[in-house]
Amino acid sequence: MSKRVVITGLGVVAPNGVGVSEFTDALKNGTSGISFHQELKDLNFSCQIGGIPKVTDDLKSEYFTDLQLRGFNSSGILYGCIAGVDAWKDAGLQIDSNGDVDYETGLIFGTGTSGVEKFREAIYKLDDGNVRRLGSTVVIQTMASGVSAYLSGMLGLGNQVTTNSSACTTGTESLLMGYDRIKSGKAKRMLVGSCSDHGPYIWGGFDAMRVMTYKHNDSPEEGSRPMSASASGFVPGSGAGALVLESLDSALERGAHIYAEVLGGEVNSGGQRQGGTLTAPNPEAVQRCIKNALKHSGITAKDIDVINGHLTATSKDALEIENWTKALGRQHKDFPYINATKSLIGHCLASAGSIECVASIIQLKEQFVAPNINCEDLHEDIANLIDSSKVPTQIIEHDIDVIAKASFGFGDVNACVLFKRFIA
């Protein structure tokens, strides 16, 4: 039984905005969430800037009890639970800790690593011979599915509850996994999303790889420069995005607010062949992913109005644009508008796809194209492929019917999803 799938709830914890309203304003105004971090400088990082959401103790207490927060030290799970609960409430759904199990709703919430700070804390206690002082929450905070376990318990979800992990593709993949489950009739609703911890123990490996920028420690808001000729590497970020997916029948039956329809998508891998490696994409696989996403969505390349790209501010940005032009058969002035949310928030790793899916839905719902900041100097290789007007550096009010969102991750993995404006 095939069902239409719509989005009825959004939640986001991003470096430039916590909550949909604040995040929307930041998107419209081109507000950066990147700042300098003394801790990174003290640890001799080359890149000393990053994006960390501003979550206060008062905000934490709105989602967790004092008992839950005692000994809690997992930023990714914190972000994921806030975004997930917000999306649930935004969908008009209730939270009743004493209610029945909701067997019609499931949860797929991804992550890259979980509770690194908690794990580090535990290691020190073990080294000191204090194993009995680790506490009862070390396992739940450090297991990969910790965020799913916390969230499903908060909401009482009884359908499939799991965590996926596919590097930077994680968030977009989780959405498509949830979409497939509803489409096949196995669930009525799915809460999907992803989260990522912040800090040196997550970001250090990338700094060692020399893929993060070191040129903007004194001007952090200028550091994240996707598609720019002066891009010098990505800026790390963190946070979470969450979306409530629901069958159209269910959404209409309960009179839910509908943000957009999920038309379909594709997930694949380049097999680390034909130019694909652990850290670089196989171009043929990327193009195949985009083409199949269109095919599964029942639309043509001409139907796409806006692309929210992966676009990390590395040397692969031009290759990504080339792959889009080849997959769509569109270039120069015929190319859709394209934007890179990472210019505002940095590369939020495992949470990137879900935060950027939320950004895509907001643009679709409110009919605007968010600006690409720090891209006044469009890279020459990109300018040779698409017209510079398609890479707006200021907000554009535009009639948008279909927006494409893609993510490409370490391990040569790809995901692309198509969203369509919903008109009742």
* pLDDT 10s digits, 79-134: 999 999 999 999 999 999 899 999 999 999 999 988 777 767 766 666 666 666 66
Give the Cα separation of 39 and 36 in Å (integer): 9
Q: What is the pLDDT of residue 423?
A: 84
**Per-residue pLDDT at 317 exceeds 70:** yes
CA 328 from centroid of its chain's CA atoms: 23
Arithmetic mean of pLDDT, 136-160: 90
Q: What is the pLDDT of residue 124?
A: 61
Spatial contact of 147 and 154, defined as CB atoms under 8 Å apart: no
Arithmetic mean of pLDDT, 273-290: 96
Helix (H, G, I), strand (E, B) or coil at 137: coil
Q: By C-alpha distance, which of 63, 49, 48 is closest to 18?
A: 63
CA atoms within 13 A on the CB side of 219: 7
| Sign of CA pseudo-dihedral 92, 367, 226, 274 | positive
Q: What is the pLDDT of residue 128?
A: 66
The CA angle 57-60-61, to the nearest 5 degrees, is 90
C-alpha distance across the termini of the chain, in Å: 23
Helices (H), 187-247: 200-209
178 residue type, one letter: G
Residues in a beta bridge with 368: 397
Give the Cα separation of 314 and 224 in Å (integer): 10
As a whole number, the mean pLDDT across the chain is 95
All structural domains of the chain: 5-253 (3.40.47.10), 264-421 (3.40.47.10)
420 residue type, one letter: K
For residues 8 and 120, the model is more confident at 8
Residue 320 pLDDT grade (very low, low, confident, very high; cuts 50, 70, 90): very high
**Per-residue pLDDT at 35 exceeds 60:** yes
Give the pair of three-digit tokens for residue 334: 């015929």
Residue 264 pLDDT grade (very low, low, confident, very high; cuts 50, 70, 90): very high
How many of the other CB atoms lie within 10 Å of CB of 181? Answer: 21
User: Pairing between strand 260-269 and 396-397?
Assistant: unpaired
pLDDT per residue as tens digits for the range 368-404: 999 999 999 999 999 999 999 999 999 999 999 999 9
How much is the pTM?
0.96
Residue 214 pLDDT grade (very low, low, confident, very high; cuts 50, 70, 90): very high
Arithmetic mean of pLDDT, 263-284: 97
Give the whole-number percent of the chain exceeding pLDDT 90. Answer: 88
Arithmetic mean of pLDDT, 306-326: 97
Measured over all CA atoms, what is the biggest interatomic distance in the chain, rounded to whole angstroms? 65
Residue 67 pLDDT grade (very low, low, confident, very high; cuts 50, 70, 90): confident
Within 8 A by CB and 6+ apart from 263, the residues are 297, 298, 299, 402, 418, 419, 420
79 residue type, one letter: Y
The kind and range of the H/E element at 26 are: helix 20-29
Give the pair of three-digit tokens for residue 293: 């996403």
Within 8 A by CB and 6+ apart from 205, the residues are none
Helix (H, G, I), strand (E, B) or coil at 33: coil
Give the Cα separation of 317 and 359 in Å (integer): 19
The kind and range of the H/E element at 140 are: helix 138-142
